[in-house]
Amino acid sequence: MAHNNVIITLKGLLMKMYTSIFKFLLLALFSFLVLPVMTDNISNNKSYNFLGDENAPNTLVEYASLSCVHCANFHNKELPAIKSQLIDKGKLKYIYKDFPLDLPAMLAAMVSNCYSGSQYFEILNSLFRNQKKWVVYSDNKKQLYASFHSILREHGISLKKINSCTEETEDNKQKWDNILATRLDGQNKGVNSTPTFFLNGKKLDGLVNLEKIKQYIY
């Protein structure tokens, strides 16, 4: 009997392992196969949210995924100094562009794109700041949305609103298409990892921080 219990336990562990591998492969398929195909013939009608003076002499564009750890590090550690020293002083305009690497990042982008202007960036920053709290639910939509709600309710966002930002409607289909088109645009410009930055149209390599940007701006 004990021998049979061991076999059953091992079978259970193997099934869990195979399920996890299968889910990982599904996410990889979404990132590298499904997204590029889905973006065929999609036109981008998105008006990008930005920080700073629209007519600033310099423009920094970031392609990022909300599930990307390095992107979160940039937003949590580097962007505040860039904002206070350059963006708020009219020297730099910053544009954020979605480049989702997986389905949770895509859904998080859909929620943030329900809003615009300063509220958009408040939500974006909250999702990056609390990234570890929601990325763990990549295989459970209900828990993922509950985690979004626990993070975003400080901004007055209800669970009902989060669901409405991702449900199947014509407006949401347009948002979905715009995000995918932005991702395809990034791929066409050579973006193959996140975060990727372009300063005044030129791709920046390596770590991007305040000191590095100061070397290149007008």
Could you tell me the CATH number of the domain that includes residue 133? 3.40.30.10
Q: What's the number of domains the chain is made of?
A: 1
Question: What residues are paired with 98 via a beta bridge?
Answer: 64
**67-81 pLDDT per residue, tens:** 999 999 999 999 999
Name the nearest CA neighbour of 209 among 68, 83, 99: 83
Q: Tell whether 29 is covered by a domain.
A: no
- Identify whether the C-beta of residue 95 lies closer than 8 Å to the C-beta of residue 59: yes
Is there a domain that residue 109 lies in? yes
Q: Domain range for residue 192?
A: 50-214
Is 13 inside any structural domain?
no
Whether 42 is covered by a domain: the verdict is no
- Spatial distance between the Cα atoms of 82 and 211, rounded to a whole number of angstroms: 9
Q: What's the DSSP call for residue 195?
A: S
Phi, psi of 11 (to 5 degrees): -60, -40
In a domain, 111, yes or no: yes
pLDDT in tens, 11-69: 443 344 444 444 444 454 454 444 444 434 444 445 789 999 999 999 999 999 999 99
Burial (CB < 10 A; 0-12, 13-18, 19+), residue 158, is: exposed
Residue 67 belongs to some domain of the structure: yes
Gap between the Cα atoms of 99 and 163, Å rounded: 21
Helix axes 141-152, 103-112, angle to 10 degrees: 40
Q: Using DSSP bridges, classify how beta strands 196-199 and 202-204 pair: parallel, antiparallel or unpaired.
A: antiparallel
How far apart CA 216 and CA 70 sit, in angstroms, is 22
End-to-end Cα spacing for the chain: 77
User: Token pair of 177, please?
Assistant: 């298409």
Residue 61 pLDDT: 98
Give the integer Cα–Cα distance in Å for 162 and 171: 14
In the predicted structure, residue 144 carries a pLDDT above the cut 60: yes
Predicted local confidence at residue 46, as pLDDT = 56
